[in-house]
Chain A
């Protein structure tokens, strides 16, 4: 059973398009994340979300928006795609206790290529 699953695994699209990446976790975790990994493998937090709070990295353009229909899902929607959005996007989840920072469980990644 896949703990954190993302779809699609690969996505090729044109500049200006709108696209979504879906993420689901079956671990019963309360908190989900989106990370962006650039071509140099640098990993940067984009969003953190639980059923109480959305934390947004202020450097993320507002063209990016997380959408969570329920606790097990956190989708990433991107408007007006730009060349610089090309990257691998990772979804992750964790189950931290209050004041704790638990380990993250990552999906396999979604490679986005903007032409």
Chain B
């Protein structure tokens, strides 16, 4: 079984400030973890993924995510937010070879 939770429906941050979008997961094995971004009226775009190795994963557009096995978390981070980062962010988890399960999404709003 695999599941993922995004505890925040919405995250608000001022431009230039660091941002964090939270994700926790539950799988009965070693997880594959993903972050995707969805801009209005668009499909989801892949940002980054963790399979194994370094717990800090770097992805597109300056985003990174930190895998924490003890807390079963995979939070998305960015040191300095841009207004253009405003979008819907999805965390996803899968066991190897299985179809990813997506979280409910977190709306990120970056204020000028």
Residues of A within 8 A of B (CB): 4, 33, 35, 40-45, 48, 55, 90, 92, 96, 98-101, 103-109
Are B49 and A103 in contact (CB-based, < 8 A)? yes
Is B95's beta carbon under 8 Å from chain A? Answer: yes
Contacting residue for B96 out of A48, A55, A101, CB 8 A: A101
Q: Which residues does chain A contribute within 8 Å of B95, judged by CB atoms?
A: 101
User: How many interface residues does chain B have, given as a range?
Assistant: 20 to 34
Distance, CA A92 to CA B99, complexed state (A): 11
Q: Which residues does chain A contribute within 8 Å of B99, judged by CB atoms?
A: 33, 45, 48, 55, 101
Are A109 and B43 in contact (CB-based, < 8 A)? yes
Contacting residue for A108 out of B32, B42, B96, B105, CB 8 A: B42
Q: 20 extra interchain contacts, Cβ-Cβ under 8 A, other than A33-B99, A101-B98, A103-B34? A: A4-B43, A40-B104, A41-B38, A42-B104, A45-B99, A55-B99, A90-B43, A96-B97, A100-B97, A101-B95, A101-B96, A103-B46, A103-B49, A104-B36, A104-B100, A106-B43, A106-B44, A106-B45, A108-B41, A109-B41
